[in-house]
């Protein structure tokens, strides 16, 4: 059976077949919405504009009591009917159990619960059971031994019969790497995939491309033409963080066009990745790390920054020269109406799937480029009467992000402003290291990456959180 039965998973999504191809629909974890009865939870997910969800029964449903005996076909059918009424699909059934529990009796119980989740998912019409990867102790907590080769082998050995069982029901088992668990990095996740693949006759193909510092070390340039060709041939690109220590790394003694970040700009331009989506939301677990007061945070915030990525100051003509005996640097900020219109349409499209509000950010009181930006955004807005929109000067927006972040839904802005504002927005979530990012081209192609850069100060310590890359 040549089916990919194990996948890396963290985000809920479903695919809809339309016009000869599949369209991905982004969903939400149900326990990030509310801990509530089913007849409140699922309608609430629909009201928030989501069409699919990741649901972990014990974390999401207020009246649910965990156990094999409670995961009945009747409950599955009831959830299925309630989802149909509210036009919400179940993309992932969460199963947060420790497959490496060292207690034999508890491990036996856990295996039976996994099987119950697989049967339940099959009846529910959900093709994926998502799981974390556990710990080598009964308490399900971090200890250094979780990251050992022995722990990884334990997880692989215990996962194999679960995957075999899932195959009988046409269900995929998806693993979620978490820094404190056994599978804590993308590399270890790949080892799991390869081990399971070898057992069941699957083949996974990976095409790795060098960019940034590693490319400089290997080729002398941050991005080669061959690397670009490989990226263009792919369906999508998953990119890691780039850069190094700007004070000590020899990469930053090179001229600017040969530094790591130059490779990133070149890649964006070559792939025409004009639309950068940077979500900023506050995890309940990170409320303590948010620098804002509790009365400002409230019940959290959830915004999307839509940043134009291939125009503006970063891609304009630049030079440094001597003028009248004085060294003078010039950077040119240029936008045409077509560039503005296409990013504005993407911003309003995203808003239609969220809370239907767009805040267009510019500096129209000073810059000609911003005045054109504002004019084109107003033209695009006429095609989206359901969306409320407003203009906001960038300095005011920077202030409002810390004063009242809950007011924002979609922030639409140009390249440099988006770079600065998205970093500010990420910081008030408690950690830029937790946030993902997508850069999209005109068609279906996209590049996906963490919002943050590299962290050379903690390199090799095995403490960096991979969640932004996974998301």
- Known catalytic residues are 314, 363, 395, 419, 423
> By three-state DSSP, how is residue 265 classified?
helix
Query: Is the sign of the CA dihedral 124, 128, 132, 133 positive or negative?
Result: positive
Q: Determine which helix (DSSP H) or strand (DSSP E) holds 276, and give its type and residue range.
A: strand 275-281
Q: Which residues lie below 8 Å from residue 47, measured CB to CB, with a gap of 6+?
A: none
**Among the listed residues 158, 59, 156, the one whose alpha carbon sits nearest the alpha carbon of residue 108:** 158
Can you read off the two tokens belonging to residue 433? 């290291």
> By three-state DSSP, how is residue 55 classified?
strand
Q: Are 59 and 35 in contact (CB under 8 A)?
A: yes
Phi, psi dihedral angles at 103 (to 5 degrees): -80, 115
CA–CA distances in Å: residue 84 to residues 37, 43, 71, 88, 256: 17, 10, 19, 6, 55
Q: Determine which helix (DSSP H) or strand (DSSP E) holds 81, and give its type and residue range.
A: helix 73-85
Task: Report the alpha-carbon distance of residue 255 to residue 348 in Å, rounded.
Answer: 39
Q: Are 360 and 377 in contact (CB under 8 A)?
A: yes
Task: Report the alpha-carbon distance of residue 361 to residue 396 in Å, rounded.
Answer: 9
């Amino acid at each position: 059976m040549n089916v990919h039965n194990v996948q890396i998973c963290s985000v809920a999504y479903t695919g809809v077949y339309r016009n000869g191809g599949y369209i991905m629909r982004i969903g939400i974890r149900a326990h990030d919405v509310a801990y509530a009865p089913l007849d409140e939870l699922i309608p609430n997910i629909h009201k928030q504009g989501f069409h699919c969800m990741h649901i972990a029964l014990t974390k999401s449903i207020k009246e649910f009591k965990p156990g094999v005996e409670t995961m009945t076909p009747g409950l599955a059918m009831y959830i299925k009917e309630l989802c149909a009424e509210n036009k919400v699909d179940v993309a992932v059934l969460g199963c947060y159990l420790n497959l490496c529990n060292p207690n034999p009796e508890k491990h036996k119980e856990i295996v039976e619960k996994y099987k119950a989740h697989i049967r339940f998912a099959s009846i529910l019409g959900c093709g994926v059971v998502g799981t974390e990867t556990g710990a080598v102790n009964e308490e399900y907590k971090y200890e250094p031994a979780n990251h050992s080769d022995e722990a990884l082998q334990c997880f692989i050995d215990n996962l194999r019969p679960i995957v075999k069982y899932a195959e009988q029901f046409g269900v995929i088992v998806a693993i979620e790497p978490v820094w404190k668990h056994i599978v804590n990095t993308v590399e270890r996740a790949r080892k799991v995939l390869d081990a399971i693949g070898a057992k069941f006759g699957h083949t996974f193909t990976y095409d790795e491309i060098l960019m940034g510092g590693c490319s400089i070390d290997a080729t002398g340039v941050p991005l080669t033409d061959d690397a670009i060709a490989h990226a263009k041939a792919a369906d999508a690109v998953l990119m890691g963080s780039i850069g190094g220590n700007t004070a000590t790394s020899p990469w930053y003694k090179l001229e600017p066009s040969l530094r790591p970040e130059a490779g990133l700009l070149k890649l964006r331009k070559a792939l025409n990745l004009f639309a950068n989506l940077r979500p900023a939301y506050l995890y309940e677990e990170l409320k303590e790390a948010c620098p804002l007061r509790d009365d400002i945070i409230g019940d959290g915030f959830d915004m999307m920054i839509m940043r134009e990525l291939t125009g503006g100051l970063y891609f304009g003509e630049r030079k440094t020269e001597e003028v009248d005996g004085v060294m003078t640097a010039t950077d040119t900020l240029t936008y045409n109406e077509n560039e503005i219109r296409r990013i504005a349409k993407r911003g309003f499209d995203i808003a239609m799937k969220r809370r239907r509000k767009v805040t267009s950010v510019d500096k129209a009181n000073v810059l000609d480029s911003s005045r054109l930006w504002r004019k084109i955004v107003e033209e695009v807005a006429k095609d989206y009467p359901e969306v409320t929109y407003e203009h906001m000067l960038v300095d005011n927006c920077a202030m409002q992000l810390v004063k009242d972040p809950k007011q924002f839904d979609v922030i639409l802005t140009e390249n440099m402003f988006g770079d600065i504002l998205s970093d500010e927005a990420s910081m008030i979530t408690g950690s830029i290291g937790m946030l993902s990012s997508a850069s999209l081209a005109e068609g279906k192609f996209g590049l996906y990456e963490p919002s943050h850069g590299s962290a050379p100060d903690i390199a090799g310590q095995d403490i960096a959180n991979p969640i932004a890359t996974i998301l």
